[in-house]
Structure 1
């Protein structure tokens, strides 16, 4: 029983993007006894070492078995059935099995609807994790709608559940940021972090999650100092509580490496990204989003230091993995394909880079819109490819369009974000003057 309970804790703590303790939901001794006995019966044949090497096949088999048994054996206990379904869904999100997780989360919502007033907390938690599953699988509209509903419900509910409204507001901020609504995203992320900071202790998981998301938005928007200070604190707290290789600590370390990339400290980011990629591959295997995306970032650190040929395989592998996993029109596939197109230009393949950027511009314009920071970056990449081929007039048009979109998203005051596109424009104008002088 004790060994099985330890495995249950390891499953949630080791794999979950959002941690949650069953003790927070269990109120009665009888309920706790039934829950622990069920989990023990499901997990007593699992080697505890599985929580260390993260054998995905075995983990999925355990979770699938738990799902099948839960429906049969816990039908008389809807609150406990919802708890177990949530454990299963959270771990499936951690294993990137989003469709499976979504099915379980929707089952919890149906169960809550069938028992009005009894499963309010489980229903809110299901919306929280469901929105995150939609976000991680690039279903942004569904993610936004789920978080909006969840925030409204949590705000109307008992005071003890209000922290969930702030947590979902923080998650929704990232959805808005991805969609190009930088000002609204920054405001929501700041409000959510401040609210959770007033309500929760410094090492609270939800507060640290909100700090990390706020830092990601600040960093991408060019406010590196505040972003890195927040991330340093998140890493310190999570290392103290969980250790340096816990998944949540690793996520914050990776965000700090990204901030270094955005700050152009490529040499400083490279060793940390190499270490993180090795840890992720050991924990999750090579065919995993954490591993693949970290290697893609490593490619950027290498390319920007002039190690272009070494970077190429990382860019290609990341692009191909995301396209195969999420589809060619997905946000992740567009980002990684754009990065690969930039690598093509650095490798001297300007025509190939231009073709890729043009194809991406069509996808981004259709799926993200013209007034989006990703679309703006694609326009800038297209201008760079045209400039490399001596077509300064076309390059000027696309660079100016990129600047217009960036201003639309971030405003005119964010000099750090506008820096790159202005650098491109300066190169275009210098080349145009040189061509005019040659005539």
Structure 2
């Protein structure tokens, strides 16, 4: 039975007996420390009290356990503590599955409380995406979209935000036409409610433009949308950087590699200053810089950079995340194009298995990469 359904007798952090004494954990402060009070067997005389530092996930887990033991599992405060605990676990790739299990249970437990259930469902869908479970993520996102529509209406910002996330999953699943229809409706709703140049309208327009990039005949339209976003927003912010990033990707698709290369160099510098060298968005810009370098014939430099990105993605977002698999496929292609088939094949074979698990065995990407693998002699 899962630990949150009964009082756990021991944990990795439980100190157990210390020289024949009992220990009691008391959570104090926010993510700071735990006061461990060691008493005699009767709990009467404190023998020693020490303070140990705690990670956020341990602090939140301890807070949840204390509330569960004091108030009961289904008390609202306990469930909120469980939500926070699962949220902190979700930031750790090696504990993401545990966070998904916790949130899945929590969503079911909050069936009659949509105000708290839907935020938990939002976080569950994010973790499903990050773990590469796109088919399940789509189902839960549609559930979330329907729930927010019932709770707050079709034009509510939360409803429209979920629509945008759903469109992103549909793009990853190769269903760009569905995503386009969803986002055209979302852009229209945001424009009516907020105005054509409101940041949230432009954010939805950015996603809409992303649905067009998969078709060579729609690249010019996508480019115009990105230029409109850049014209409608001042300064340096996340939306501006994302639009600049996506515009550079369009330039790559159009064969304008030198222009794209310059844009990606600028983006890497800006991202590193804003977010740090080891931020996921910085690595995303480095990934596309490597692709641009490869397109211009700088093969060794491109491969070395992309290998670094792949290692970072595996560490930051996990080996089966869509961005990780795409990067791994690109690295395999770089090696194969240089005649290093024996290095390319294991990367490609593993990426195919990843895509089978995330996209399904009949997805066009799986079929295409399987065909490529066969051409490589495997």
Which residue number corresponds to residue 124 of structure 1? 160
Shift of 1:223: 0.9
CA distance in 2, matches of 1:117, 1:299: 46
Question: What's the secondary structure of 2:305's corresponding residue?
Answer: helix
2:322 paired with 1:282: no
Question: What's the secondary structure of 1:264's corresponding residue?
Answer: coil
Which residue number corresponds to residue 143 of structure 2? 107
Change beyond 3 A, Cα 1:113–1:303: closer
Residue 174 of structure 2: which of 130, 138, 145 is its match?
138
Cα RMSD after superposing both structures: 3.4
Residue 314 of structure 1: which of 347, 351, 358 is its match?
347
Change beyond 3 A, Cα 1:115–1:333: same
Q: How does 1:261-340 map to 2 (within 5 A)?
A: 261-323=294-356, 325-337=358-370, 339-340=372-373
Once the two structures are superposed, residues 348-397 of structure 1 have per-residue CA deviations (whole angstroms, 9 ceiling, x without a partner) of xxxx9xxxxxxxxxxxxxxxxxxxxxxxxxxxxxxxxxxxxxxxxxxxxx
Which residue number corresponds to residue 188 of structure 1? 222
Which residue number corresponds to residue 20 of structure 1? none
CA distance in 2, matches of 1:200, 1:99: 37
CA contact (8 A) 2:130 2:321 kept: no
CA contact (8 A) 1:121 1:161 kept: no
Which residue number corresponds to residue 417 of structure 1? none
Q: How does 1:384-395 map to 2 (within 5 A)?
A: none
Shift of 1:318: 2.5
CA contact (8 A) 2:226 2:246 kept: no
Shift of 1:335: 4.2
Which residue number corresponds to residue 31 of structure 2? 3
CA distance in 2, matches of 1:69, 1:196: 44
User: TM-score under structure 2 normalisation?
Assistant: 0.69
Shift of 1:128: 0.6
Change beyond 3 A, Cα 1:70–1:239: farther
Which residue number corresponds to residue 390 of structure 1? none
Change beyond 3 A, Cα 1:151–1:185: farther
Residue 60 of structure 1: which of 84, 97, 100 is its match?
100
CA contact (8 A) 2:257 2:296 kept: yes
Q: Structure 1: which 5+ residue stretches go unaligned?
A: 9-35, 345-351, 353-439
User: TM-score under structure 1 normalisation?
Assistant: 0.61
Structure richer in helix, relative to its length:
1
Change beyond 3 A, Cα 1:192–1:298: closer
Q: Structure 2: which 5+ residue stretches go unaligned?
A: 1-28, 33-54, 58-75
CA distance in 2, matches of 1:262, 1:122: 40
CA distance in 2, matches of 1:192, 1:216: 11
Change beyond 3 A, Cα 1:316–1:288: same
CA distance in 1, matches of 2:317, 2:292: 24
2:226 paired with 1:198: no
Once the two structures are superposed, residues 398-422 of structure 1 have per-residue CA deviations (whole angstroms, 9 ceiling, x without a partner) of xxxxxxxxxxxxxxxxxxxxxxxxx
Q: How does 1:32-431 map to 2 (within 5 A)?
A: 41-43=81-83, 45=85, 51-72=91-112, 74-75=113-114, 77=115, 81-115=117-151, 120-159=156-195, 162-178=198-214, 180=215, 182-196=216-230, 198-202=232-236, 204-323=237-356, 325-337=358-370, 339-340=372-373, 343-344=376-377
Shift of 1:130: 0.8
When structure 1 is superposed on structure 2, of 317-326 and 145-154 the one drifting more is 317-326
Which residue number corresponds to residue 412 of structure 1? none
Once the two structures are superposed, residues 186-221 of structure 1 have per-residue CA deviations (whole angstroms, 9 ceiling, x without a partner) of 33344234424532531x222222222221121121
Change beyond 3 A, Cα 1:337–1:255: farther
Shift of 1:132: 0.5
Shift of 1:143: 1.4
